[in-house]
Structure 1
Amino acid sequence: MEISAGGRLEVRVTAADVGKRVSVRRLIQSGVPEEKFTDTVGVLTSWDDGVLLITRKDGESVRIPESALVAGKVVPAAPARRRGPAASYEELAQVSSRAWRPVESERLGEWELRAASGFTRRANSVLPLGDPGLPLDEALTAVRHWYGERGLPAYVQTATGAEGTQELLCAELERRGWVREVSAELWTGALAPVADRAEGAGVELSRTADEAWLTRYQRKGVSEVALKVLGSGPSVWFATVPGDGSPAAIGRCVVDGRWASFAAVEVDPALRRRGLATTVLAALARPALDEGASAAWLQVEQDNTGARVLYAGLGFAAHHAYHHYREPAAPGSGQS
């Protein structure tokens, strides 16, 4: 917190700091012998009618009456990362988009509209990197029209928690009634240590997702469109650990320059906690190293405790959070 030369806490944040990362302390309990305070760190996304809106790293927005402020200051745009390969949000957003390509896309200024018949939100959402070339309300109207023509709900994929992420856009979407349905995190780590973790014996590698691999994949009834998305990317690998009747474990990796992405790591529920997920990752890491990759990224949901423990043990750490915002329901649609 900002402390003056006289030892007093001071508020050194104003409405002119909207868009900057701030740290504030506010009073949460008054009129009692021991007043209580809490601290909030995030991007100041608005300051209107005496209320601050701060978007935290995880994408949650906190409303703070300015009357409750006791201290505050602008802080560096992003905290220093303690481990993992250096990377900007924009680089990772572009790499992750190339690893999960839609079957149809169109540009709206610098935004990319993506569609794949509804197979995953990633392949059926707007990637808003840069300026759409229109005022925001007009851009969102164009987005809803584009997805409506395809019989799909409109989603916008945003990110928070790193330099260059989209806290301001998140706040604007929420102000317009867009609903945040899904949040997860993108983690990064060095690739070589993953390859060294297990022998990888018995893992079958392929360039295509065969019938055996698809029997273990969590999304059943995979369509032709889904197969195109799964097979998309600069250099795609699929791993299968044979099992009794169906694979014991599977995984997917896309190699793109210095990056390797891991996804669709699935293990037979009856065989979990036996190291099979690590075996799959290690097997996929080896051809990625051979192709020149040195860093890796993956996506994990915030409530997937088991996966988070596994990936942290392999040296991965969170880089930023990402979110999917769904268009508000049309009046009279009956949607909740």
Structure 2
Amino acid sequence: MEITAGGLLEIRITPADVGERVSVRRVGHRPGGSPEFTDTLGVLTSWNEGVLLITRKNGQTVRIAESSLVAGKVVPPAPARRRGPAASFEELTRVAARSWQPLESEPLGGWVLRASGGFTRRANSVLPLGDPGIPLDDALARVTGWYAERDLPAYVQAATGAAGTQEMLCAELERRGWTAEVSAEVRIGALAPVGDVDAAAAGSVRLTRAPDEEWLARYGKVTDPDLARRMLVEGPSVWFAALPGGRAVGRCVVDGRWAGFAAVTVDPAHRREGLATAVMAALARRALEEGASAAWLQVETDNAGAHALYDGLGFATHHTYHHYRAAA
């Protein structure tokens, strides 16, 4: 908190600081009447009619009455804690979008509406990397109508821990009743250490350019195999990995310096045998041969087992994205 030379707390933020990362302290009262102080760190996404909205890194929006503030200041961006390559939010998001290319897309200003028959939210959601060019309510009405025409729910993919405009969009969606159904971390790391892993089963991994029936069966998220194949093979340079008997599978998209890992799935009967590591090591070696040097992946925030795997391989969180679904 900001403390003066005289030891007093000061409020050094104003509505002009909307979009900045701030730290604030507010005061409340316990049941017995004694004061209780609460600190909040995040992006100031709005300050209207005496109420501040601050969006934390995890996407949660905190409402704070201006009258309860006792201190506040603008703080610098969070220090970089990630290992491996440097990357901007926009670069990573565009690379990720190319790895899950939609069957149909339409621009709306700086937004892209994407549809693919419902296979994966990533290819059936709005990617808002700029201004839609029209008022937000009009843009969201256009979005819900566009997806309704395709008999699909309307989703907007927006991020926290990335950029102020993205976090402001999260807050605006929540204010309008949109619900974050799924949240996932985007993690990055150096590619060479993944390829260097000495996984006993790596030599048995088979690499192909298209998924077969056994691969699709292990992946397990397929209701329309033909649609899934069309989607999964699209990308700059796509590889599929599988261990005999479908014990483990994975997918990697090589795009310039980046190798994107996805769909790493292990037969429950063979977990904790290092099979996921073996699949990723084999894919990483292929990506290194194609000139890639950096790696990225997406993992849902509640997948503790995958977090442990990726921590061990040197991946660190870059930002978190959320799929917001339109209110019914």
TM-score band by shorter chain is over 0.9
Q: Aligned partners of 2:37 and 2:312: how far apart in 1?
A: 35
**Residue 166 of structure 1: SS of its match in structure 2?**
helix
Residues 163-204 of structure 1: CA deviation (Å, up to 9, x unaligned): 355011111112222122111111111100001112411000
The structure with more helix, counted as a fraction of residues = 2
- The answer to whether the aligner puts 1:318 opposite 2:320 as a matched pair is no
Aligned pairs (5 A) from 1:190-269: 190-199=190-199, 200-243=202-245, 247-269=246-268
> How far 1:310 moved relative to its partner?
0.9
Matched residue, 1:307: 306
> How far 1:214 moved relative to its partner?
1.1
Q: Aligned partners of 1:31 and 1:137: how far apart in 2?
A: 41
**Residue 254 of structure 1: SS of its match in structure 2?**
strand
CA pair 84-29 structure 1, distance change in 2 beyond 3 A? farther
Aligned residue pair count: 326
CA pair 215-236 structure 1, distance change in 2 beyond 3 A? same
> Aligned partner of 2:271: which letter?
R
**Residue 204 of structure 2: SS of its match in structure 1?**
coil
Q: Aligned partners of 1:42 and 1:3: how far apart in 2?
A: 19
Q: Is the 8 A contact 2:112 2:126 kept in 1?
A: yes
Q: Aligned partners of 1:133 and 1:77: how far apart in 2?
A: 28
Residues 257-299 of structure 1: CA deviation (Å, up to 9, x unaligned): 1111110000010111111111111010001011111111111
Q: Is the 8 A contact 1:89 1:165 kept in 2?
A: no
Q: Is the 8 A contact 1:118 1:124 kept in 2?
A: yes
> How far 1:221 moved relative to its partner?
3.1
Q: Is the 8 A contact 2:216 2:225 kept in 1?
A: no
- The answer to whether the aligner puts 1:298 opposite 2:297 as a matched pair is yes
Q: Aligned partners of 1:136 and 1:184: how far apart in 2?
A: 24
Moved more, 274-283 or 216-225: 216-225
Q: Aligned partners of 1:251 and 1:322: how far apart in 2?
A: 22
CA pair 164-31 structure 1, distance change in 2 beyond 3 A? closer
Q: Aligned partners of 2:226 and 2:285: how far apart in 1?
A: 29
Matched residue, 1:143: 143
Q: Aligned partners of 1:165 and 1:88: how far apart in 2?
A: 14
TM-score (norm: length of structure 2): 0.95
**Residue 203 of structure 2: SS of its match in structure 1?**
coil
Q: Is the 8 A contact 2:19 2:165 kept in 1?
A: no
Q: Aligned partners of 1:298 and 1:8: how far apart in 2?
A: 46
Matched residue, 1:14: 14
> How far 1:33 moved relative to its partner?
8.9
TM-score (norm: length of structure 1): 0.93
Q: Is the 8 A contact 2:194 2:281 kept in 1?
A: yes
Q: Is the 8 A contact 1:260 1:295 kept in 2?
A: yes
Residues 66-85 of structure 1: CA deviation (Å, up to 9, x unaligned): 23222211012343234231
> How far 1:31 moved relative to its partner?
7.7
> Aligned partner of 1:146: which letter?
W
Aligned pairs (5 A) from 1:65-214: 65-163=65-163, 166-199=166-199, 200-214=202-216
Moved more, 234-243 or 73-82: 73-82
Matched residue, 2:61: 61
Q: Is the 8 A contact 1:78 1:162 kept in 2?
A: no
> Aligned partner of 1:115: which letter?
A
**Residue 276 of structure 2: SS of its match in structure 1?**
helix
**Residue 187 of structure 1: SS of its match in structure 2?**
strand
Q: Is the 8 A contact 1:104 1:115 kept in 2?
A: yes
> How far 1:34 moved relative to its partner?
6.8
Moved more, 99-108 or 210-219: 210-219
Q: Aligned partners of 2:223 and 2:119: how far apart in 1?
A: 11
Q: Aligned partners of 1:174 and 1:318: how far apart in 2?
A: 24
> How far 1:300 moved relative to its partner?
0.8
Moved more, 35-44 or 183-192: 35-44
**Residue 315 of structure 1: SS of its match in structure 2?**
coil
Specify every segment of 5 or more residues in structure 2 that has no aligned partner in the other structure, as ranges.
none
> How far 1:36 moved relative to its partner?
3.5
Q: Is the 8 A contact 1:102 1:115 kept in 2?
A: yes
Matched residue, 1:333: none
> How far 1:28 moved relative to its partner?
4.2
Paired-residue identity, %: 69
Moved more, 43-52 or 301-310: 43-52
Q: Aligned partners of 2:293 and 2:54: how far apart in 1?
A: 36
